[in-house]
Amino acid sequence: MRHAHPVAVVRAAEAAVMARLPAGTLMQRAAAALAAVAGRLLRRRVGRVYGARVGILVGSGDNGGDALFAGARLARAGARVVAVPLGARVHAGGRDALTDAGGSFGSAADLADVDLVLDGIVGIGGRPGLRPEAVAALRRVPADATVVAVDVPSGVDPDTGEVCGTAVRADVTVTFGAFKPGLLIDPGAEHAGRIEYVDIGLGPFLPTPWLTVLDDEDLPARLPRLARTADKYQRGVLGVVAGSPRYTGAAVLTVGGALRTGIGMVRFVGAAEPADRVRARWPEAVVTVLPDDARDVAAAGRVQAWVVGPGLEPDDVGHALVAQVLAMPVPVVVDAGGLAVLAADRSLLDGRRAPTVLTPHAGELARLLRMPPGGRRDIEEHRLAFARRAADEFGATVLLKGTTTCVASPSGLVRVNPTGTPVLATAGSGDVLSGVIGALLAGGLSAFDAASVGAYLHGLAAQLVSGPAGRPISATDLWAALPDAIPGRPDSREW
Strand residues in 65-124 grouped as ranges (E): 80-85, 104-105, 116-120
How far is residue 29 from each of residues 14, 18, 21, 64, 67, measured CA to CA in Å? Answer: 12, 12, 12, 14, 12
Q: What is the DSSP letter of 169?
A: -
- Annotated ligand binding at 129? The verdict is yes
198/170 Cα distance (integer angstroms): 17
- Annotated ligand binding at 151? The verdict is yes
- Annotated ligand binding at 119? The verdict is yes
CB under 8 Å to 295, separation ≥6 — which residues? 320, 324
Contact yes or no for 168/59 (Cβ under 8 A): no
- Annotated ligand binding at 123? The verdict is yes
- Annotated ligand binding at 467? The verdict is no
Contact yes or no for 248/273 (Cβ under 8 A): yes
- Annotated ligand binding at 363? The verdict is no
- Annotated ligand binding at 62? The verdict is yes
What type of residue is 448? F
Judge if the upstream peptide bond of residue 209 is cis by omega within 30 degrees of 0.
no
119/152 Cα distance (integer angstroms): 9
- Annotated ligand binding at 180? The verdict is no
- Annotated ligand binding at 361? The verdict is yes
- Annotated ligand binding at 419? The verdict is no
- Annotated ligand binding at 24? The verdict is no
Closest by CA position to 432, among listed 470, 462, 458: 458
- Annotated ligand binding at 61? The verdict is no
- The vertex-69 CA angle with 68 and 74, nearest 5°, equals 90
- Annotated ligand binding at 430? The verdict is yes
Order of strands across the sheet that contains 397-400? 2-4, 211-213, 414-416, 406-408, 397-400, 356-358, 332-334, 305-308, 237-241, 265-270, 286-289
- Annotated ligand binding at 261? The verdict is no
Beta carbons within 10 angstroms of residue 382's beta carbon = 16
- Annotated ligand binding at 63? The verdict is yes
- Annotated ligand binding at 411? The verdict is no
Contact yes or no for 485/220 (Cβ under 8 A): no
- Annotated ligand binding at 405? The verdict is yes
- Annotated ligand binding at 121? The verdict is no
Most distant CA atoms of the chain, gap in Å: 84
Contact yes or no for 57/139 (Cβ under 8 A): no
- Annotated ligand binding at 207? The verdict is no
Q: Across the strands, what pairs with 2?
A: 213
How far is residue 334 from each of residues 142, 325, 466, measured CA to CA in Å? Answer: 48, 10, 27
- Annotated ligand binding at 417? The verdict is no
What type of residue is 199? D
- Annotated ligand binding at 60? The verdict is no
Question: Would you state the torsion angle of the CA atoms of residues 421, 331, 311, 437, taken in this order, to the nearest 10 degrees?
Answer: 20
Annotated binding-site members for K(+) = 63, 119, 154
Annotated binding-site members = 62-66, 119, 123-129, 151, 154, 250, 311, 361, 401-405, 430-431
Annotated binding-site members for AMP = 401-405, 430
Annotated binding-site members for (6S)-NADPHX = 62-66, 123-129, 151, 250, 311, 361, 431
